[in-house]
Copies of this chain bind each other. A is one copy, B any other.
Amino acid sequence: MATIMEKYFATVDNISDHFVERLQKAVAIPSVSADPARRHDVVRMGEWLANELRGLGADVDVRPLSKQAGSEVDLPPIILGRYGSDRNKKTIMIYGHYDVQPASKSDGWESDPFVLTSDDQGRMFGRGSTDDKGPVLAWLNTIESYQNAGIPFPVNLLMCFEGMEESGSIGLEGFINSEAQGYFAETDAICISDSCWLGEKPCLTYGLRGLNYFSVTVSGPAQDLHSGIFGGAVHEPLGDLVHVLASLSDGDGTIKIIGLPEVVAPLTEKETCLYRDIQFTNEDLHSTIGSKTGIFNTTKETLMARWRYPSLSVHGIEGAFSTPGSKTVIPARVTGKFSLRTVPNMTVEQVNELVIQHVREEFQKLNSKNILEISVLQKGKWWLTDPDHWNYVAASKAIEDVWGLKPDLIREGGSIPIALVMEQAIGKNILLLPMGRSTDAAHSPREKIDRNNYIEGIKTLGAYLHHVAG
C-alpha cells in the first residue's frame, strides 16, 4: 500500500502548481447565486466545471432545473459526473457546490475577492476558495493525480455538483429524490467535503443538530397605543410576549419545556470517549466569539452543549420599537422568534407539539385577554451516523497517512439539510470530510484556504478512495 500511495502523493506534489491554477480559474468566475444579476456567472461556472470533468474523461450530464420560483431567472443546472463503472469496484457518490457567497472589496477584503491571492504564509484568499470550489476541485485533482501517477482509479465516482447551495439549495431535494433510484442507484457510500475543521486538526463529522424555528405572535389593540394614556389599563402584547419567551429557558440555557429534556438520548460511555481527545479548548471558543461568555468550565461540556444537547435561542421580536431613542409606545402586535436545535432522539413533530403546548400554557397563566398565535417557520431533523462505518474508517486511515494523526470525530451544532436528504433518499452512509481550517472565514470577507490544506486535501481524498477500495 505504502508504495502506491507514496507514488500518488509525490504526483500530487509534482503538479500542485497546476491545481492552484485550476482553483485560480474557478475563483475568477463570480458565481454568486444570491444575486440574479450574476446568475449567468453561476451558469458559466457550471459549464466550466463540466468541461474540466470532460477533460478528465468523466461522463458528464448537465441537468437543467426549472425557473426560480417567483422570477424569470433559470436555476443553474446540476452537474452530474460519472468516472468509472467497474462492477467490481465500490461506487462513491460525492457532493459539492460551485456557487459562492456574495463578496465585494468594500466588505473588508484586502484584495479582489475574485482573484485568488496568496500570501507568504501560504494562505490563498478568494471567494469560494474553501467554500466550496477548493474541495470540489480537489476531487478533480484526485482523478488527475491518479491518472498522472498511472495508478488505476480505486472506485467508481458519482458526482453531484449544484449551483444554489448558498441560496437554500433550491431544486436539489426534489432532484436527489427523483434520481436516488436512477443516476445514484449504484451508490455504496457518500462523501461530502463542504465544511471546515473544528480547530487546527483534521476531523470527520458524524452528526448535525436539527432545527425547529418558531414564531409566536401576541396581539391586542387595533393599533399601537400611547403608553401614557393607556399604560396600566390594557393587557400589553409585548409584556405578555416577554413572559412567554422568558419561560422557555433559564439563564444558563437550560430548556424549561416540559417533556423535552426526557427525549434526549442518554449519554453512553462509548460516546463519552469520543470527546476525550478532541483538540479544542474553551480558549478556542472564547477567541472565536470574542468574549469569555461561554457557559461551561470544561471543553467536554462546551462541545456536548454544541453538538449532542438541544439548545434554545431567542432571535428577536418583530413589531416592537427596535430603533435607537425612546418612544412611549405600547406595540399592538408583536412576534417573537425563537428556535430549538434538536438532537437524537427528538422528533420534529414531538418538538413542535411540546413547544406549542408549553407556549400556550405559559400564555394561559398570564390571564391576558390578548390573542396568541404560534407557528412553525422551519423544521429539519438532526442527523447522526455511525463513525465506525467503513466509510469513516477509510477516511480516518487516509488522514493518518497524510497528516500523521488520527482525526477528531466531531459533530456540528448547525444543520446541513442536504446530508439528511441524501441519507433518506439514497439510504447509504454519509461521511462529512472537512478540508479547510476553522480560520478559513467561509461566508466572511477574506475567505481563504491554506495551500497546504488544499494540496494535502487532494492527497487525503485520494487515500480515502484507496482505503475504501481496500
- Looking across the interface, which residue of chain B has its beta carbon closest to that of A210? B228
In the complex, A330→B293 CA distance in Å? 13
Instruction: Give the interface segment out of A347-355, A362-370, A445-453.
Output: A362-370
| Residue from B213, B291, B306, B365 within 8 A of A222 (CB atoms) | B291
| Residue from B253, B290, B329, B413 within 8 A of A236 (CB atoms) | B253
Q: Distance in Å from the Cβ of A246 to the closest Cβ of chain B? A: 4
**Is A97 an interface residue when CB atoms closer than 8 A count as contact?**
no
**Is A192 an interface residue when CB atoms closer than 8 A count as contact?**
no
In the complex, A232→B227 CA distance in Å? 36
B239 and A243 contacting across the interface, CB-CB below 8 Å = no
Which B residues are in CB contact (< 8 Å) with A222?
289-291
In the complex, A215→B293 CA distance in Å? 22
Instruction: Select the residue from A321, A370, A378 with max chain B CB neighbours within 10 A.
Output: A321
| Residue from B292, B303, B322, B368 within 8 A of A316 (CB atoms) | B322
B246 and A412 contacting across the interface, CB-CB below 8 Å = no
Nearest first, the 8 closest Cβ-Cβ pairs linking A and B are A222-B290, A228-B414, A251-B366, A232-B311, A316-B321, A316-B320, A231-B311, A246-B246
B413 and A231 contacting across the interface, CB-CB below 8 Å = yes
**Is A67 an interface residue when CB atoms closer than 8 A count as contact?**
no
| Residue from B226, B318, B326 within 8 A of A337 (CB atoms) | B326
Given contacts A316-B317, A322-B316, A329-B315, contact A339 B227 (CB under 8 A): yes
**Is A407 an interface residue when CB atoms closer than 8 A count as contact?**
no
Interface size class of A (residues with CB under 8 A): 35 or more
Could you give, for residues 206-249 of chain A, a 1 whenever the CB lies within 8 Å of some chain B CB and a 0 otherwise?
00010101010000111101111111111110111011011101
- Looking across the interface, which residue of chain B has its beta carbon closest to that of A252? B367
Instruction: Give the interface segment out of A294-302, A386-394, A462-470.
Output: A294-302
Which B residues are in CB contact (< 8 Å) with A422?
none
12 A-B pairs with C-beta separation under 8 A: A213-B326, A215-B326, A220-B289, A221-B290, A221-B293, A230-B306, A233-B285, A233-B295, A239-B314, A250-B366, A313-B328, A315-B327
Which B residues are in CB contact (< 8 Å) with A377?
325-326
Which B residues are in CB contact (< 8 Å) with A323?
318
Which B residues are in CB contact (< 8 Å) with A243?
246, 251
**Is A439 an interface residue when CB atoms closer than 8 A count as contact?**
no
A251 and B239 contacting across the interface, CB-CB below 8 Å = yes
**Is A397 an interface residue when CB atoms closer than 8 A count as contact?**
no
Which B residues are in CB contact (< 8 Å) with A213?
326, 328
B228 and A305 contacting across the interface, CB-CB below 8 Å = no
B324 and A318 contacting across the interface, CB-CB below 8 Å = yes
A309 and B249 contacting across the interface, CB-CB below 8 Å = no
A306 and B231 contacting across the interface, CB-CB below 8 Å = yes
B341 and A337 contacting across the interface, CB-CB below 8 Å = no
**Is A331 an interface residue when CB atoms closer than 8 A count as contact?**
yes
Which B residues are in CB contact (< 8 Å) with A310?
232
| Residue from B238, B250, B314 within 8 A of A238 (CB atoms) | B314
- Looking across the interface, which residue of chain B has its beta carbon closest to that of A377? B326
| Residue from B233, B291, B311, B341 within 8 A of A220 (CB atoms) | B291
